[in-house]
């Protein structure tokens, strides 16, 4: 288990005369999240050149969101998070869908297509390698001496994760973890992987403004799902009644 402090990126990096990192400090930012316009800006953020704590990278990068954490011992980690949203139930149910989501936060797949080929090879010189090199350039990164490890904490978050057709206590993350335990889906063993519990996020943000926003969101989605279900059932009964009526009337 990691003990972490709040987001510490962006960083001000001071280099010595030879171009090596001498020291770094946390720096303030007027931007909370930055949406990159191209792969170059993704690389710039990874190399601490864009002053924003959160990065929304290019679609072909893989993750939906990236940020950095400082561990209790002072080491730094990059977090790569994939998010999935659906009005009700789990946004991802099948092993194939879960595997695809997990693959998107695997550092070995960053800027690679489903066949493993580098993205935009005609425009960039080995973009996947540039990305991994940029990750490895993080000063004082956690586990820097581990072979094949790029100090990335890989995560998956589905919202909402409450499957209202079963019960309010059933969480989709349990199904995801169950498929991992059953070896139906796999993740890169060289990197840590986690699944975010929606109820934990809801509890953490409950007092933040707007207060109880996630609770109200889920209630609204649940109410709408139940209303639509009733409408579908009523429509089905109406069609059945019309069909039976025609049969009684005969030719």
- Assign 3-state DSSP to the chain and report helix, strand, coil percentages, each to 5: 35, 20, 45
CA atoms within 13 A on the CB side of 199: 9
Q: Which residues pair with 65 in a beta bridge?
A: 81
The DSSP letter of residue 245 is H
Helix, strand or coil for residue 35? strand
Write down the pLDDT at residue 5. Answer: 44
Write down the pLDDT at residue 165. Answer: 46
Write down the pLDDT at residue 171. Answer: 55
Q: What is the pTM of this model?
A: 0.72
Q: 152, 190 in Cβ contact below 8 A?
A: no
- Which of the residues in the chain have pLDDT under 70? 1-30, 86-91, 159-175, 221, 246-251
Write down the pLDDT at residue 35. Answer: 94
Q: Which residues pair with 195 in a beta bridge?
A: 156
Spatial CB neighbours of 129, under 8 Å, sequence gap ≥ 6: none
Q: Rounded to an integer, what is the distance from CA 31 to the centroid of its chain? A: 20
Write down the pLDDT at residue 50. Answer: 85
Q: 127, 119 in Cβ contact below 8 A?
A: yes
d(Cα 232, Cα 235) in Å, to the nearest integer? 5
- Among residues 181, 180, 183, 158, the alpha carbon closest in space to that of 171 is found at 158
Cβ count near 77 (within 10 Å):
20
Q: 104, 63 in Cβ contact below 8 A?
A: yes
Q: Rounded to an integer, what is the distance from CA 117 to the centroid of its chain? A: 22
Task: Return the H-helix or E-strand segment holding 179.
Answer: helix 172-181
């Amino acid at each position: 288990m990691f003990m972490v402090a709040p987001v510490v990126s962006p960083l001000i990096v001071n280099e010595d005369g030879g171009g090596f990192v001498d020291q770094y400090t946390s720096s303030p930012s007027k931007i909370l999240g930055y949406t990159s316009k191209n792969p170059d800006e993704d690389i710039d953020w990874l190399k601490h050149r864009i002053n924003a704590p959160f990065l929304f990278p290019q679609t072909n990068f893989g993750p939906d969101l990236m940020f950095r954490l400082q561990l209790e011992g002072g080491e730094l980690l990059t977090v790569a998070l994939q998010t999935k949203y659906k009005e009700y139930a789990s946004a991802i149910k099948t092993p194939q869908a879960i595997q695809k989501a997990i693959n998107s936060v695997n550092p070995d797949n960053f800027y690679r297509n489903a066949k493993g080929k580098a993205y935009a090879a005609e425009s960039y010189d080995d973009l996947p390698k540039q990305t991994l090199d940029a990750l490895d350039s993080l000063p004082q990164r956690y586990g820097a001496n581990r072979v094949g490890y790029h100090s990335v904490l890989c995560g998956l978050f589905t919202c909402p994760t409450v499957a209202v057709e079963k019960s309010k206590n059933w969480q989709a993350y349990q199904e995801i973890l169950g498929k991992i335990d059953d070896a139906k889906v796999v993740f890169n063993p060289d990197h840590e992987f986690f699944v975010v519990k929606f109820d934990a996020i809801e509890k953490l943000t409950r007092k933040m403004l707007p207060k109880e926003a996630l609770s109200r969101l889920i209630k609204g989605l649940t109410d709408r799902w139940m209303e639509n279900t009733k409408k579908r059932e009523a429509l089905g009964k109406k069609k059945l009644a019309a069909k039976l009526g025609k049969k009684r009337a005969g030719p």
